[in-house]
Structure 1
Amino acid sequence: MSLRSPGSLPAWALSATDASALLRRGELSAVELTRSCLGRIAVVNPVVNALNFVDEAAAIRAAEQADAALARGAVSAPLHGIPVAIKDNTDVRGQPMTNGIVALKDNIASADAPQVARLRAAGAIVLGRSNTPCFSFSWDARNDLHGTTWNPWSRAHTPGGSSGGAACAVATGMVPLAHGNDIGGSIRHPAYCCGVAGLRPTPGRVPGLFSPAKGDEALGLQLMLVDGPIARGVADLRLMLESMTGFDPRVPGSLPLPLPFPASPLLPGTRIGVLREDDVKPRTPTVAAALERAVVALQQAGFTVEEVRLPELAEAWRLWWLLVMEETRALLPSIERDGDAPIKAWIGFNYDVASEMWGRQPSLTDYINGYARRARLIASLQQKLRRYPVILMPVASEEPFKQGQHYADLASARAAIASGWPLMAIPVLGFPALAVPTGCVDGLPTGVQLMGRRFHERDVLQVGAALEAAMPVLTPMDPLRT
């Protein structure tokens, strides 16, 4: 759906869907759109620090080429002329890829990562790089190299992470679309904190790879890490997802899945499960109210909403702290050598929490049994999803926390980790999930999460669009300057 009437908005504030329609009708040029986004960046990026690199000259050249193709009538790509931002942990040819690490400040990528190549093939104009925490391993977006990305709603609170720069840039109108990646909530958490929408696709849907030059990735990254879109609306998520999807032989788990999606929408009366259980951490009243507001909206949209119990998710959350953290041990020498103080504190607290579940040194048998148990949990949940093809649940058990709070001390880290259990359970099991904003309470965005069947992103997008239609428009917004 269109977020607002396109005619009443400056070009930078347009949704990607509306901008694309105007470009194809000749009512907007790619150069005009790109210059408008660059102008917006000049105004708001000094306030929020969401983008740490912008290549204006290259973006304008790409926009001129896009306009020339439009003039020739040689346009079929869905994102033709649409600016996007790429997260600073993914290679973009000729641009720095630092991952928030000071030691990588001069690391210039020689080739596009597969997901970036697909966006370019779809006509997207790469405008800049979005900020991420050091090693992209935190629920914020600050590092010693590029500084802190601020939540545009409140400088006291985190913008989320690790794709915090991406979500902030979209929320404030710097770009209509941004790329992110997610193994523990890194698309959905910043979308939640910044009041935008973020989709975690099924693994294999988008050919994700940080750097083609390296290629070696741990098993957990291969099975759980995904790349996906962040946007101000669900229609734009779908547009970007369709553009990113496709097979790439460089990516072991890449699958040749057909898109656009086949037209088989969920019918009126379809059962939607709602997760009211709190198996890990009780939700706050604000989070509970957002969930119930979404229940009402879905009922009014014609769905049947029924409460479900899904103990598989709490167990999957515990498995994250075994499988991912054991594989992360290989990074510890690099983090110790090149990491900044926050990432060193956060990773240390992560292992403290993991040890409370699995002991200080989990055995190889623990690790093997963990992956075996993962398979059983996936099979169990897939059977329940036959009755409830979409599950409504919180994004996290609490509102966005204060900037830096999650690594202030062990107690704070433990609380943040418990709050984020709905974010971390889903990657272990490999289901798609969508974060959708539901409003604003006490100056901060609220939101909910939708989980669907594997490779049925169309279902969560359809239900997400129904939710979006019932909720207030939050973005683009002007960031707070205090």
Structure 2
Amino acid sequence: MTDLCDRSAVELRALMRRREISPVELLDSCLARIEAVNPKLNAVVALDAPAARAAAEAAEALFRVGDGVHPLTGLPVGVKDLNETKGLRTTFGSPLFAEHVPAADAGVVRRLRAAGGIVAAKTNTPEFGAGANTDNAVYGFTGNPFDPMKTCAGSSGGSAVALATSMLPLCNGSDLGGSLRTPAAFCGVVGLRPTPGLVAKSAPAIPTAPLSVEGPMGRSVADLALLLSGLAGADPDDPYSRPLETAPLADLQPVDLGQLKVAVSEDLGFAPVDDEIRSLFRARLAGFRHLFRDVQNRDPEMAEANRVFEVLRSIGFLAAHLEKVERHPDKVGANVANNVKLGLTFTARDVAWASKRHGEIARDFTGLMEEVDLLIAPGASAKPFAKGESYPAEINGKPLDTYIHWVAISYGLTLTGHPVLCLPCGLDADGMPFGLQIVGRRWDERRLLSIGAALEAALAAVPGCARPLPDLARLMT
């Protein structure tokens, strides 16, 4: 099955500019796919088709006159339900906001619209993004497009599923401890956790602690780069943000992979990783390591990363959600409430230690990245599990410390402040997607994405390493 909505965002943009297709035709194709597939997956949770069609008609008029066309003009975009959208229901996955219709857009949504994107739908997320499984009391579970009874991970699960099934050509996500990367790995799409500040956040709870970032998701590196060009930019509310460099982020340059020096780590030296994931990572790496000039097994220095992330993450939850938990304890879910309670147990000494150790981890990693071009690690520590489970209770028979310990392979990289690209790399033995994390140098997303595009093209020719596609016909039955 190949419909208009299945084409890449880059191709669709070119077709609309040549007026070979119209934005209205593209939107109709996306809406038809949503109607056919979403009932089984529950990825799209709020939709205003009339408003989207009006925006598509306005975009069509721009193409007719050839003036006022922007990078994303005419392209439908899915917005994670953590970002407020003017006139379109935004719940944050919380009963407290079940009927909330914002009067204004969040900053990231304003930039999307300014770049010409058509905000067509909201995508599902766990309550306030807390949890690595996409489920909430407002909308329920989102299933994996390769097996709807398994998790798509979280918290950007709705966006990953909408992309994998071509319900939408582009979607945004956000990432604290892997919220964008793990869904990308579990659903066979591409995601980028950018350098903090590249995509400005609107009024972050703790502006000086940039662990959580906004980022783009797509079906290819080129599509993702196109979306990033519309998302990136400065905002006075975000002290880490800064104006864009002169070179467009979507202007990817040819890269000779054979000139690159690469570090490889199965577990970052500390993260629990399922033995099957380790074996598969080694096998996939064996199929493409010849593409690089030099590949070395090298773990970054991340001692005590679990404790550092636990403290800093909980303090963030305190800042963002303490008042909600105190005022409405019956309407706040366990993930959010427990993180707030945990944050209240930490002392100023704990926070000072975690902040200091965080700086040490980040500096050590910067030193490593001065010696190599990339670090490659598995996209996730575990395989997709049943969607009714909040998290895997154990890995390799060993109980996990906390409900987020299974994403340590992701949150360890969060602490480094470096950009991380998640690339699909075939299927596992159960027919579920497998992904890679590709880490680049800070503030050099253009270089990382150029490398990612070259690696993506090379992997497509390596047996078992191409981007997998779900069986859409089975999802429509």
**What TM-score, normalized by structure 1, do the two folds share?**
0.88
What is residue 469 of structure 2 aligned with on the other side?
475
Residue 253 (1) aligns with residue 243 (2): no
Unaligned runs of 5+ in 2: 460-464
- Is the alpha carbon distance of 1:376 and 1:316 closer, same or farther for their aligned partners in structure 2, counting shifts above 3 Å? same
Contact kept? 2:325, 2:332, Cα under 8 Å = no
- Is the alpha carbon distance of 1:171 and 1:342 closer, same or farther for their aligned partners in structure 2, counting shifts above 3 Å? farther
What is residue 395 of structure 1 aligned with on the other side?
379
Distance 1:9 1:155 in 2: 21
Distance 2:169 2:328 in 1: 33
What is residue 291 of structure 1 aligned with on the other side?
281
Of 313, 317, 340, the residue aligned with 1:328 is: 317
Q: Deviations for 1:171-223, whole angstroms, at most 9, x for unmatched residues?
A: 111001111111111100111111111111111101122xxxxx361257x41
Q: What is the identity, as a one-letter code, of the residue corresponding to 1:321? A: E
Of 144, 159, 170, the residue aligned with 2:152 is: 159
Greater mean deviation of Cα atoms: 460-469 or 178-187:
460-469
Of 344, 369, 382, the residue aligned with 2:366 is: 382
Distance 2:427 2:133 in 1: 20
Distance 1:346 1:50 in 2: 22
Residue 130 (1) aligns with residue 132 (2): no
- Is the alpha carbon distance of 1:286 and 1:340 closer, same or farther for their aligned partners in structure 2, counting shifts above 3 Å? farther
Query: Tell me, what secondary structure is at the counterpart of 1:420?
Result: helix
Distance 1:468 1:264 in 2: 14
What is residue 369 of structure 1 aligned with on the other side?
353
What is residue 436 of structure 1 aligned with on the other side?
423
Shift of 1:281: 4.3
Contact kept? 1:342, 1:407, Cα under 8 Å = no
Distance 2:8 2:391 in 1: 35
- Is the alpha carbon distance of 1:10 and 1:303 closer, same or farther for their aligned partners in structure 2, counting shifts above 3 Å? farther
Contact kept? 2:301, 2:361, Cα under 8 Å = no
Residue 226 (1) aligns with residue 213 (2): yes
Shift of 1:37: 0.2
Shift of 1:141: 1.5
Residue 98 (1) aligns with residue 117 (2): no
- Is the alpha carbon distance of 1:421 and 1:216 closer, same or farther for their aligned partners in structure 2, counting shifts above 3 Å? closer
Greater mean deviation of Cα atoms: 291-300 or 339-348:
339-348
Q: What is the identity, as a one-letter code, of the residue corresponding to 2:261? A: R
**What TM-score, normalized by structure 2, do the two folds share?**
0.89
Residue 455 (1) aligns with residue 443 (2): yes
Q: What is the identity, as a one-letter code, of the residue corresponding to 2:60? A: D
Across the aligned residues of Structure 1 and Structure 2, the Cα RMSD in angstroms comes to 2.7
What is residue 427 of structure 1 aligned with on the other side?
414
The count of corresponding residues between Structure 1 and Structure 2 is 462
- Is the alpha carbon distance of 1:68 and 1:218 closer, same or farther for their aligned partners in structure 2, counting shifts above 3 Å? same
- Is the alpha carbon distance of 1:152 and 1:380 closer, same or farther for their aligned partners in structure 2, counting shifts above 3 Å? same
Distance 2:423 2:89 in 1: 31
Q: What is the identity, as a one-letter code, of the residue corresponding to 2:266? A: R
Query: Tell me, what secondary structure is at the counterpart of 2:101?
Result: coil
Contact kept? 1:85, 1:177, Cα under 8 Å = yes
Shift of 1:82: 0.7
Shift of 1:381: 1.1
Greater mean deviation of Cα atoms: 285-294 or 260-269:
260-269
Q: What is the identity, as a one-letter code, of the residue corresponding to 1:271? A: K
What is residue 445 of structure 1 aligned with on the other side?
433
Query: Tell me, what secondary structure is at the counterpart of 2:147?
Result: coil
Shift of 1:347: 5.3
Contact kept? 1:290, 1:438, Cα under 8 Å = no
Distance 2:440 2:13 in 1: 28
Residue 32 (1) aligns with residue 25 (2): yes
Q: Deviations for 1:424-463, whole angstroms, at most 9, x for unmatched residues?
A: 1122221111111111121211111111111112333233
Query: Tell me, what secondary structure is at the counterpart of 1:448?
Result: strand
Shift of 1:76: 4.1
Shift of 1:276: 3.2
Of 299, 303, 306, the residue aligned with 1:309 is: 299
Distance 1:263 1:169 in 2: 25
What is residue 141 of structure 2 aligned with on the other side?
148
Contact kept? 1:280, 1:418, Cα under 8 Å = no
Q: What is the identity, as a one-letter code, of the residue corresponding to 2:294? A: T
Contact kept? 2:253, 2:450, Cα under 8 Å = no
Query: Tell me, what secondary structure is at the counterpart of 2:405?
Result: helix
- Is the alpha carbon distance of 1:400 and 1:116 closer, same or farther for their aligned partners in structure 2, counting shifts above 3 Å? same
- Is the alpha carbon distance of 1:351 and 1:420 closer, same or farther for their aligned partners in structure 2, counting shifts above 3 Å? farther
Contact kept? 1:135, 1:339, Cα under 8 Å = no
Alignment of 1:409-424 (within 5 A): 414=401, 417-424=404-411
- Is the alpha carbon distance of 1:264 and 1:480 closer, same or farther for their aligned partners in structure 2, counting shifts above 3 Å? closer
Q: What is the identity, as a one-letter code, of the residue corresponding to 1:256? A: P
Contact kept? 1:140, 1:164, Cα under 8 Å = yes
- Is the alpha carbon distance of 1:21 and 1:134 closer, same or farther for their aligned partners in structure 2, counting shifts above 3 Å? same
- Is the alpha carbon distance of 1:206 and 1:477 closer, same or farther for their aligned partners in structure 2, counting shifts above 3 Å? farther
Shift of 1:316: 3.1
Distance 2:158 2:330 in 1: 18
Distance 2:330 2:190 in 1: 30
Contact kept? 1:436, 1:468, Cα under 8 Å = yes
Contact kept? 2:269, 2:300, Cα under 8 Å = no
Contact kept? 2:79, 2:122, Cα under 8 Å = yes
Q: What is the identity, as a one-letter code, of the residue corresponding to 1:95? A: L
Contact kept? 2:146, 2:470, Cα under 8 Å = no
